[in-house]
Amino acid sequence: MNKQYDVSDIKVMEGLEAVRMRPGMYIGSTGSRGLHHMLWEIVDNAVDEAANGYADAVRVTLHKDDSVTVEDNGRGIPVGIHEKLGVSGVEVVFTQLHAGGKFDNESYGFSGGLHGVGASVVNALSEYVEVEVCTGGKMYRQTFRSYEGPDGKMVSGKPMAPLEEVSRVRRQGTKITFLPDKRVFETLEMNFGIISKRLRELAYLNKGVTFILIDEREWGNKKEAEYHYEGGIIDFVRYMNADKTPLYDEPIYIAGKRDDIAVEIAIQHNDGYTESMFSYVNNIPTTEGGTHETGFKAALTKVMNDYCRKAGILKDKDPSLSGEDFREGLTAVLSLKMHSVQFEGQTKTKLGNTEARTAVEYVLTEHLAPYLDDLKNADTANKIAEKAAKAAKVREATRKAKNMAREKSKLENAPLVGKLSSCTGRNAKINELFIVEGDSAGGSAKQGRDRRFQGILPLRGKPLNVEKKRLDQVIANEEFRSIITALGTGIGEDFDISGLKYDKIIILSDADQDGAHIRAILLTFFFRYMKELITDGHVYIGLPPLYKIQKGKEIRYAYSDGELAKMTRAIGKGYTLQRYKGLGEMNPEQLWETTMNPEHRSLVRVELEDAADVDHIVTLLMGDKVGPRREYISEFANFNKTDTFEEKMTAHPAAER
Ligand code: TTJ
């Protein structure tokens, strides 16, 4: 080790220690979200390499000791000595804040604006990181560690030695293994479902790249998933329409570039009424939409209206169709790759760059207009146009009906709130509304509640699945009408949060499949028609206990299997155990004590991402066809394809040189 190395070493350490002092600032939280964020930081680097065409496989392995390995078959992190810093590129990437991963911006192409904090942050928050780079026929290795120094101060992400050449190899790529530090994170348990879902999404967004997830944490129960889509977002759109009836067989696919912004669009209408738009920028979901979605909508409306006039579906005297009409039953994926991304909005998932709007408008117009004019696409074009024309007619009829209903309700002046038991207090800032599954649980809730501030609305059976319905049909549904009336906000375009009569809307459903389904339907309803309730944090899920443990006079409740195991261990022998199959099995006092009393209950606040996720999953689980549902359920099943990855790791053309 030379002097220079020591000097830069000290400077670097200060940076990483700052990350340790305030982990939340760099990865959001030290809970499960933050833990997964660590993985995404590393995965993003491998995906960048693949997105730029230098790698075609990315593999994630979850190990028994809670460490995680991420590997790709790309060019490898640079191993040469950095001119100014005097250490290898690998060391720079893992020890320099901000430089992490974005070591050489020129050669990096597009990378995510939000996720760019990178590898050095992961290093700072890991007990150890082992880096293996294969490039130019050689394998290199370096290890970093975090530990308590002799003075009691934490040393973070310190290189144990400079990058070392270890052997000769033929393949190329980068392999990172890291163990998140248990002194930083509340949990080290990564979630197979969350990771596989994200890897599948990445596979759709990066066509041709194979993503593999291996979970070897459980003895004798190795789980694997592999995702690879030659069609990319075309396959994504097909998949999302898989349990619906598409209006035409081939999705419309458009790709183009403008002002250094790469735009990719896939579109397919189904015979339903809802619009499902999934937009991404640099592989990051833009849940709140933004300029690119605005550009998409504007261009789609313009191009389609032009077509309708040309094709004679609209006559000169007819008014143009609205954007909504063309988006009825539309499933679309919009994916942008661009530099200097600006995210806005409450959850920083809304694209703000104005040039993105122009780019999408340009690319869509440029490609969609000739596509529609092409005679071999006439059938598709006409189906879209005719569906929109019909949607416009229905919209007009709905408007009339709504006006009539409004007039009528004004006349009668008697809001219908069927089975709602309101609370006596009038303070909307503290009042709570429990939406309860089933009449019997509803009855218990009514008796058990604190009527001063808790209102109860029981739901009979399953509410209407809003996924397949138009707004007027949703409004006509009795269950939803009582929810809408109880809340006092109106719905859809008429939604006005200032009318909200409750601070918390708490969904109480059974801890079984049906309960989950009902919860998903309600969340989808709120997501689609009262989104602000969710973004403003008014929607909660109540968690009833799963078990009652009684020993003598002492009664305790367990809310998870883990908690049950802990409790029964602590209690010892001679207890009785009751498993609650539904809310209805609890008497009013028990329901109050365990689930409704603000001092003891646990609630989960629903965040926009959760609701958007539900939208994803709901689309999947609620359709009429059985095929795709089965696919979803067996998605996590085993299939042995590891060897293909080894093949890919060595067979990539760039590897042979
Ligand atoms: C940078 O520009 C020169 C050629 O190599 C580029 C590079 O760094 N490629 C690269 C980085 N491939 N894979 C990575 C990478 C992979 C993982 C899993 C983690 C990290 C931090 C980087």
157-186 per-residue burial string, b: 16 or more CB within 10 A, e: under 16: bbbeeebeeeeebebbbbbbbbbbbeebbe
Q: Give the binding-site residues of ligand 1, using a 6 Å CB cut-off.
A: 42, 45-46, 49, 70, 72, 74-78, 93, 101, 104, 107, 119, 174, 176
Say if residue 629's pLDDT is above 70.
Answer: no
Which among 48, 111, 174, 176 is the best mutation to test ligand 1's pocket, defined by most ligand atoms within 8 Å of the CB? 174
- For residue 83, the CA-to-ligand 1 centroid distance in Å is 18
Closest by alpha carbon to 121, among 87, 146, 141, 140? 146
- For residue 174, the CA-to-ligand 1 centroid distance in Å is 7
What pLDDT shows up at residue 102? 32
Contacts of 446 (CB under 8 A, 6+ apart): 421, 456, 458, 588
- 280-314: pLDDT as tens digits: 999 999 999 999 999 999 999 999 999 999 999 99
327-359 per-residue burial string, b: 16 or more CB within 10 A, e: under 16: bbbbbbbbbbbbeebebebeeebbbebeebbeb
What pLDDT shows up at residue 512? 78
- For residue 116, the CA-to-ligand 1 centroid distance in Å is 13
Q: Is 624 a catalytic residue?
A: no
What pLDDT shows up at residue 98? 66
Q: Is 235 a catalytic residue?
A: no
Measured from the CA of 94, which atom of ligand 1 is nearest? 21
Joined tokens for residue 513: 């499949």
Position 7 confidence tier, pLDDT thresholds 50, 70, 90: very low
CA distance 439 to 446: 10
Angstrom CA distances, 513 to 518, 560, 576, stand at 9, 16, 26
Say if residue 644's pLDDT is above 70.
Answer: no
From its phi and psi, is residue 274 left (phi > 0), alpha (psi between -120 and 50) or beta?
Answer: beta
What pLDDT shows up at residue 433? 97
Maximum mean pLDDT: which of 2-16, 106-120, 187-201: 187-201
- The CB density around residue 14, as the number of other CB atoms within 10 Å, is 10
- For residue 147, the CA-to-ligand 1 centroid distance in Å is 26
Position 234 confidence tier, pLDDT thresholds 50, 70, 90: very high
- 470-503: pLDDT as tens digits: 777 888 788 888 899 899 998 888 899 999 999 9
Which among 42, 49, 133, 206 is the best mutation to test ligand 1's pocket, defined by most ligand atoms within 8 Å of the CB? 49
Cβ 118 vs Cβ 47: under 8 Å: no
235-268 per-residue burial string, b: 16 or more CB within 10 A, e: under 16: bbbbbbbbbbebbbeebbbbebebeebbbbbbbb
CA-proximal residue: ligand 1, atom 17 (nearest) = 46
Residue written as token pair 């309101």: 422
Say if residue 370's pLDDT is above 60.
Answer: yes
Q: Classify burial at 156, counting beta carbons within 10 Å of its beta carbon; exposed 0-12, middle 13-18, buried 19 or more.
A: buried
Q: Classify burial at 371, counting beta carbons within 10 Å of its beta carbon; exposed 0-12, middle 13-18, buried 19 or more.
A: middle
Catalytic one of 9, 324, 386, 514:
514
Cβ 326 vs Cβ 390: under 8 Å: no
CA distance 444 to 557: 18
CA distance 600 to 545: 11
The mean pLDDT value for 195-222 works out to 96
The percentage of the chain sitting over the pLDDT mark of 90, rounded to a whole number, equals 65
Helix, strand, coil percentages (3-state) for the chain, rounded to 5, are 45, 20, 35
What pLDDT shows up at residue 612? 58
CA distance 278 to 172: 34
SS3 60: strand
Closest by alpha carbon to 621, among 243, 271, 300? 243
Angstrom CA distances, 642 to 82, 487, 560, stand at 36, 52, 34
Q: Over the chain, what is the mean pLDDT?
A: 85
CA distance 5 to 370: 60
- The CB density around residue 72, as the number of other CB atoms within 10 Å, is 28
- 442-474: pLDDT as tens digits: 999 999 999 999 999 998 877 777 766 777 788
Angle of helix 192-205 relative to helix 233-240, nearest 10 degrees, comes to 120
What does DSSP say about strands 432-437 and 454-459: parallel, antiparallel, or unpaired? parallel
More confident residue, 9 or 44: 44
Cβ 420 vs Cβ 482: under 8 Å: yes
What pLDDT shows up at residue 335? 98
- In the DSSP assignment, the letter for residue 238 is H
CA distance 99 to 125: 16
The percentage of the chain sitting over the pLDDT mark of 70, rounded to a whole number, equals 85
115-145 per-residue burial string, b: 16 or more CB within 10 A, e: under 16: bbbbbbbbbbbbbbbbbbbbbeeebbbbbbb
What pLDDT shows up at residue 559? 84
According to DSSP, the residues that pair with 432 across neighbouring strands are 454, 504
Contacts of 198 (CB under 8 A, 6+ apart): 40, 43
CA distance 119 to 95: 8
The mean pLDDT value for 385-390 works out to 96
Closest by alpha carbon to 102, among 83, 84, 121, 87? 121
Cβ 64 vs Cβ 214: under 8 Å: no
- For residue 104, the CA-to-ligand 1 centroid distance in Å is 10
CA angle (186 as vertex; 183, 190 as ends), nearest 5: 110
Q: Is 514 a catalytic residue?
A: yes
CA distance 445 to 595: 9
- 568-577: pLDDT as tens digits: 998 888 899 9
- For residue 327, the CA-to-ligand 1 centroid distance in Å is 40
CA distance 509 to 436: 6
- The CB density around residue 74, as the number of other CB atoms within 10 Å, is 27
Closest by alpha carbon to 227, among 243, 244, 207, 245? 207
Angstrom CA distances, 656 to 78, 171, 563, stand at 18, 8, 54
Q: Is 510 a catalytic residue?
A: yes
Task: Let me know how long the chain is.
Answer: 657
- In the DSSP assignment, the letter for residue 251 is P
Q: Which amino acid is at 653?
A: P
Say if residue 258's pLDDT is above 50.
Answer: yes
According to DSSP, the residues that pair with 130 across neighbouring strands are 143, 177
Maximum CA pair distance of the chain?
A: 88
Q: Which amino acid is at 66?
A: D
If DSSP states are collapsed to H, E and C, what string results for 134-188?
A: EECCEEEEEEEEEEECCCCCEEEEEECCCCEEEEECCCCEEEEEEEECCCCCCCC
CA distance 337 to 53: 14
CA-proximal residue: ligand 1, atom 4 (nearest) = 75
417 sits in which H/E element: none
Position 99 confidence tier, pLDDT thresholds 50, 70, 90: very low
* HSE of 422, CA atoms in CB hemisphere, 13 A: 16
CA distance 1 to 86: 11
- 164-177: pLDDT as tens digits: 999 999 999 999 99
- 48-57: pLDDT as tens digits: 999 999 999 9
